[in-house]
Amino acid sequence: MIVMIGKRTLDDEKLAVITFTGPFSKTLEVLEEVSDFVSSNDKLEADGDPTVIFYTAPLKDEGRYDVGIPVKGESEGDGKVRIVTIPGHTVIFTEYSEAREEAYRKLIKYVEENRLDVIGAPREILHGDVREIQFPVVL
């Protein structure tokens, strides 16, 4: 398997999110809750692919996550769903469709070999069957 690693600068991004603690396998259920909130809110519109931000080790099943969808529009949220803005930043990234652990291993190796500073929580963007792993970095 060839893992390609890239870098890009992201603009500010507004997300509708639910913060969730539990098994990673439940994140899709939580994502459905966020999606239902966005689709039922006439002031919001989905503006990108679903995102999972990892506040604990991403390869462990139990963890703490923000599960969300990029949105356009204005809303206060509903108590469970919050609307947050992630400031623009630079990320290194790679994609995978099956070998999740291998993709993380290659990205971590790249960080170490290039002496990059990871400055925040990793996240995964769900592009259908392909997922993109992003590490926020200082180059």
126 within domain boundaries: yes
pLDDT of amino acid 61: 87
What's the CATH code of the domain at 100? 3.20.80.10
Output 2 or 120, whichever has higher pLDDT.
120
Phi and psi at residue 46, to the nearest 5° = -60, 140
pLDDT of amino acid 2: 56
pLDDT of amino acid 139: 80
pLDDT of amino acid 37: 97
pLDDT of amino acid 3: 66
Q: If you average pLDDT over residues 11-27, what whole number do you get? A: 96
Range list of H helices, the chain: 27-40, 100-113
Counted domains in the chain:
1
> Would you give the DSSP letter of residue 127?
E
88 within domain boundaries: yes
pLDDT of amino acid 34: 98
Q: Report the alpha-carbon distance of residue 57 to residue 52 in Å, rounded.
A: 12
Q: Give the whole-number percent of the chain exceeding pLDDT 90.
A: 93
Per-residue model confidence as pLDDT tens digits over 46-105: 999 999 999 999 999 899 999 999 999 999 999 899 999 999 999 999 999 989 999 999
Domain around 125: 6-138
Half-sphere exposure of 54 toward its Cβ, with a 13 Å CA cutoff? 19
Does 131 have pLDDT greater than 90?
yes
pTM: 0.92
1 within domain boundaries: no
Please state, rounded to an integer, the average pLDDT across all residues of the chain: 95
